[in-house]
């Protein structure tokens, strides 16, 4: 079973993503509350996929994405943010994100992305 790290400073967003994944058989789920926590947990658990918000305290998602890609260039990271600004999306993809999900989203959007990225 794939290990998935869900990173968002909003507890309800983590819960929503976790709930959607659990209902579809994903059980090896981990959570982080900001970029610093995400990088630390990434090192610790070596997840198969990271679903990460961009706007967070302490370290934003783009900085955490850079740090994670430095640790493991082949890591699967999907960015998730309410800011659907083109510049952010382009920056995230340039930094190595596999996809970009714009909030608000339907649970099936998360599932489709997760199954596509994890293949």
* 27-86 tens-digit pLDDT: 999 999 999 999 999 999 999 999 999 999 999 999 999 999 999 999 999 999 886 677
> Residue 104: is the preceding peptide bond cis (ω within 30°)?
yes
pLDDT for residue 103: 87
Higher pLDDT, 89 or 92: 92
pLDDT for residue 11: 97
State pLDDT tens for residues 7-17. Answer: 999 999 999 99
pLDDT for residue 85: 75
pLDDT for residue 87: 85
- Cβ pair 52, 17 in contact under 8 A: no
Structure tokens at 86: 């083109």
CATH superfamily of 4-118: Response regulator (3.40.50.2300)
Question: Any idea where the domains of the chain sit in the sequence?
Answer: 4-118
pLDDT (average), residues 18-23: 96
Q: To the nearest 10°, report the CA torsion of 67, 72, 78, 83.
A: 20
pLDDT for residue 39: 98
- Cα–Cα distance list, 100 to 1, 15, 40 (Å): 23, 19, 22
Across-strand partners of 80?
53, 101
- Cα–Cα distance list, 34 to 15, 16, 103 (Å): 15, 17, 17
pLDDT for residue 84: 63
Q: With 90 as the cut, is the pLDDT of residue 88 above it? A: no
CA 111 – CA 96 distance, rounded (Å):
20
């Amino acid at each position: 079973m794939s290990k998935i790290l869900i990173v968002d400073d909003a507890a309800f967003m983590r819960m929503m993503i976790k709930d959607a994944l659990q209902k579809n058989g994903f059980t090896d789920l981990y959570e982080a509350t900001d970029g610093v926590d995400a990088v630390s947990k990434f090192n610790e658990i070596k997840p198969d996929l990271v679903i990460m918000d961009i706007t967070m305290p302490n370290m934003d998602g783009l900085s955490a994405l850079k740090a994670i890609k430095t640790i493991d260039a082949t890591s699967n990271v999907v960015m998730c943010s309410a800011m659907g600004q083109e510049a952010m999306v382009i920056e995230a993809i340039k930094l190595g994100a596999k996809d970009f999900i714009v909030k608000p989203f339907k649970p099936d959007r998360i599932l489709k992305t997760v199954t596509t990225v994890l293949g």
